[in-house]
Structure 1
Amino acid sequence: MIVMRRLLFFLWLGGCSTVVSGQDFGWWNTTHNWDGVSNWRRYLTLSPAYLGPNALPVPRVANARLEGSTRITLAGEGHFSSGDRTGNGFLEVDQPLFSERVALRVWYIPVEYYHMDATTRDARAARDYDGRGWAGGDVYVGTQIQLLRDARGWPDLLFTTNLKTASGTHLSAARHTNAPAYYFDLSAGKTFPLSRGGNHSVRPHAMVGFYVWQTFKDDYLQNDAFLYGLGADLTLGQIMVTPALGGYSGYLNNGDRPVVARLSLESHRGKMVEYLARLQQGLRDFPYTSVRLGIVLRPFAGPAETPPANREK
C-alpha cells in the first residue's frame, strides 16, 4: 500500500510538471500557432535579421597584413536596436606561429546580457517570455596565412580560414545558433605613404570570401553566403582611423544578407597598452548600432609597425 501511494504521488507530480510546462509555453504555442508536432526549433529563423547581434555577425574586414607580434584585445560592446539592447565582453588573441607568415587567431564572446521587447521576441519566435537574461557566446578559431607581403608591383595577400564553434547558449531565446559555421576569405591591400617619414599613410584593402552556417530547415540544411568587404587604414602619426564596409549575401534571402558600416580608431604609440574604439551601424538585415571600447595588450611591444598590422574592423 505504501509503495502504491508513493507511485501515485510521483505520477501526480509528473502530471503537474507537464501541466506547468505546458502553461509556461502556452503563450508561445498560441502566438506562433504551434501545430502540436513540430519541434520549436523549426520556427526559428537562423539569419542575422532574426537573432541576437553576436549570433552571426559580419566578419572583420581584413587589411591583408598579419600582426607582427602577440596581440591581445580586451573590450566591451554595446548593441542597440529598437527592440533589443545587448551588452557583452569581447576577447581576441592574435599569435604568430612558426614564422611571420602564419598566425593563429582566437576570439570569444564570454558573456552577454540582453533585453528584448515582446515585439522583437515574437518576430524571432523566441521562447524567453520576459525577453531578458544572460547568455554565453561562441568561440571562433582562425588560421591566417600571408601569401604575399611587400612584393614589388603586387598588393599584400592574406588568406584566412575560420571556424565558429557551437558553444553559444540560449538558442531558445534566439541569441546564438547552437550550431557550427565556417568561412574563408582572401584579402588584398597596399600601403601608400603620405609623408616622407612614413608617419602618415593610407592603406586601401578589399576582401572576398565564402560563409557557411547550419540551419534547422529540412530542405536547406545549410546557408551559403558570399562574403565581401572594403576599407582603408588612414595612419595619422600615432592614430589610425579605419572606415570599412562589409557584409555577406546568403542564399535563402530570409534576412541573411547583412551589411554594416564601421569606423574604427586605434592608438599606435609603440606601447604595451594601446586603446581602441569602434562604431558600427547596421545598414541591412542587422538592425543594430554597436559600440566597442577596449584596450590592446602587446606583451612584446616595439615601435609601431608601418604599414599597419591586420586588425578587427
Structure 2
Amino acid sequence: MRKGSLRVSRWLCACSLLSSTIAQSEAQQFMGYSPRWYGPNANPIPEVREAIIPSGLQLHNSLKYQLSNKDKTATLFTDLEIPIVSERASVRIYGYGAEYFHWSQESLSRRGLGSASEKGFVVGDIYVQTRLRLLSEDAGWKPNVVLNYTLKTASPKPIANEHMRFFDTPGYFFHLEVGRNLLSPEVSPVSLRLSGHIGFMCWETVQKQNDAVTYALALSSQFKAWELSLQLGGYSGWMKHSYGAEYGDEPMHLTARCSYRINRHLTASCGLERGLRDYPFTQLSLGLTYTSPFRLFP
C-alpha cells in the first residue's frame, strides 16, 4: 500500500514538474522575442536604403534616445558601408555598440523582471549585410533594383537578454530594394525619389522560429545641401496569430529624417521614429556621416 502511494506521489510530482516546465516555457514564448516586450533595438524594423549603393565608403554614427518614460534608452549606433565595386556591390556592417536603459517600475512589473534589471549598460547586436545591384535606373522606365542579405548575430552578452533588451538568438533577413527618381537632380533644383523594399525576416525564439514578411515605402527630396525623407515600414510575424494580439510581432513605424551636407565629406542628420503598432517607442536620433571615395575595386 505504501509502495502504491509512493508511486502515485512520484507520478503527481513528475506531472506537476512537467506542467510547471511547460507553463514556464509558454510564458517565455509569450513574453519573448517580439518588439512589444523587449527594448527598442532588439529586433528593429529595417530601414529603406533607397536602392542606391554608394560610390565610396560611408561611415555613420548616431546617438538614439528613446523618449518614452516607460523605457528611457540612449544608444550609440554605428553603420559602415564599404563598396566592393562602386555603385554595384557593397558590404555593410552596423550595430548597437552600447545601450543605456532604464525600465520604469510598470515596465518591470509587466515583464516579470526584478529590480536588478531596472537599469544598466548592455552591448547590442551586430548585423552583416551584402548588397548587390541587379538592375540600373535609366531614362526610360527601369528603376534601380538591389538585393540585400543580412545576418544578425546573437547578443554578445547574455545580460542583454536577461534584462529583455536584445534577443540572445541569431536571425537573418533579405530584401529586394526598388527605387527611382521621380524628379532627377540633373534636371530639377528639387529632386524627388520614391523607394521601398519587400522581403523575408527570420529569427529564433525560445522554442520555435518566427518568420515575417518585411515591407517599407519611402519618399525623399533634396534641395541643395538639404535632404528630407519620410518612411513607413514594418514586418509581420506569424506568432501573434497563434499566441494572441499581445505577443506583438507585427511592428510598424513612421520615420522622418532631415540631413544637411556640411561639405563633401561630412553630413549631419536628425531623425524621429514613431511606433504605430507593436512598437511602443518614439526615438530621436542625432548623427554624423563621413564619406570618402574609398572602395575595394574601381
CA separation of 1:195/1:167 partners in 2, compared to 1, >3 Å: closer, same or farther? Answer: closer
Q: Which runs of 4+ in 1 moved over 6 A?
A: none
* Partner SS, residue 120 of structure 1: helix
* Partner SS, residue 122 of structure 1: helix
Residue 195 of structure 1, CA deviation: 6.8
Determine the C-alpha separation between the residues in 2 that align with 1:162 and 1:276.
24
TM-score (norm 1): 0.79
* Partner SS, residue 86 of structure 1: strand
Q: Is residue 36 of structure 2 the alignment partner of residue 46 of structure 1?
A: no
Q: How many residues align?
A: 265
Matches within 5 A, 1:100-111: 100-111=87-98
Residue 168 of structure 1, CA deviation: 4.6
1:158 corresponding residue in structure 2? 146
Q: Which of residues 193, 196, 212 in structure 2 aligns to 1:206?
A: 196
Determine the C-alpha separation between the residues in 2 that align with 1:52 and 1:291.
15
* Partner SS, residue 171 of structure 1: helix
Q: Is the 8 A contact 1:128 1:173 kept in 2?
A: no
Matches within 5 A, 1:187-198: 187-193=177-183, 197-198=187-188
> 1:292 corresponds to which letter in structure 2?
S
Determine the C-alpha separation between the residues in 1 that align with 2:123 and 2:254.
26
Determine the C-alpha separation between the residues in 2 that align with 1:198 and 1:298.
24
1:140 corresponding residue in structure 2? 127
Q: Is the 8 A contact 1:71 1:296 kept in 2?
A: yes
2:213 corresponding residue in structure 1? 226
* Partner SS, residue 270 of structure 2: strand
Q: Is residue 258 of structure 2 the alignment partner of residue 265 of structure 1?
A: yes
Determine the C-alpha separation between the residues in 2 that align with 1:92 and 1:109.
9
- Alignment gaps of 5+ in structure 2: 1-18, 241-246
Structure 1 vs Structure 2: percent identity of aligned residues? 28
- Give me the CA root mean square deviation: 2.2
Residue 98 of structure 1, CA deviation: 3.6
- Alignment gaps of 5+ in structure 1: 1-33, 302-313
Matches within 5 A, 1:88-99: 88-99=75-86
Matches within 5 A, 1:25-44: 35=20, 38=24, 44=31
> 1:161 corresponds to which letter in structure 2?
Y
Q: Is the 8 A contact 1:94 1:106 kept in 2?
A: yes
CA separation of 1:290/1:136 partners in 2, compared to 1, >3 Å: closer, same or farther? Answer: same
Determine the C-alpha separation between the residues in 1 that align with 2:185 and 2:116.
58
Residue 127 of structure 1, CA deviation: 4.6
Determine the C-alpha separation between the residues in 2 that align with 1:272 and 1:214.
39
1:76 corresponding residue in structure 2? 63
CA separation of 1:180/1:81 partners in 2, compared to 1, >3 Å: closer, same or farther? Answer: same
Q: Is the 8 A contact 1:45 1:124 kept in 2?
A: no
Q: Is the 8 A contact 2:274 2:281 kept in 1?
A: yes
Q: Is the 8 A contact 1:272 1:300 kept in 2?
A: no
Deviation digits for residues 80-124 of structure 1, max 9, x if unmatched? Answer: 224111001011101001443110000011110000012212322
Determine the C-alpha separation between the residues in 1 that align with 2:185 and 2:20.
67
1:180 corresponding residue in structure 2? 170
Residue 153 of structure 1, CA deviation: 1.8
Residue 192 of structure 1, CA deviation: 2.5
Determine the C-alpha separation between the residues in 2 that align with 1:247 and 1:43.
20
Deviation digits for residues 42-95 of structure 1, max 9, x if unmatched? Answer: 574210100001101111122111111100001111012241110010111010
